[in-house]
Amino acid sequence: MPDTARVAVTPAAGELLRTLAARHGPLMFHQSGGCCDGSSPMCYPVGMFRTGSGDVLLGALQVDGIDPVEVYMSVSQFEYWKYTHLTIDVVDGRGGGFSVETPDGKRFLTRSRMLTKVELEDLGLTAHRR
């Protein structure tokens, strides 16, 4: 398994995840693909959102004091994002849909950057060229 992580979490988002996990139990994310929720990472208690063969596990966020928080995305969306590293962050504002941070006046968001050449190689990808 590669050492390169596809996902990370900011300290502020990690702190909110600890608060939410104390309230809701173990958590997971599904990166929304647009439409009603925009392109927001949606946070759910484990078991409240069903993943399946149409989803890709990007990785698990390691946050001190809580269970690892798995992050998923649809296979079709992953085709567009597979060359990027995603960082889950949090800002003030209204969250989307049924994401558990919404009542707290916060919303998670995804910050992205292109994977480096070394990260691409570690993940078995080659740089995308047009």
Task: Give, for 21, the enclosing helix (H) or strand (E).
Answer: helix 11-24
First-to-final CA distance of the chain: 28
- pLDDT for 100 equals 94
What is this structure's pTM?
0.90
Q: Tell me the per-residue pLDDT of 67-116, one tens digit each, with 9 for 90 and over.
A: 999 999 999 999 999 999 999 999 998 866 789 999 999 999 999 999 99
Domain assignments of the chain as residue spans, ordered by start: 7-119
* Highest mean predicted confidence (pLDDT) among 58-67, 102-111, 119-128: 58-67
* CATH of 7-119 among 2.40.160, 2.60.300, 1.10.357, 3.30.390: 2.60.300
Q: Tell me the per-residue pLDDT of 23-47, one tens digit each, with 9 for 90 and over.
A: 999 999 999 766 554 578 999 999 9
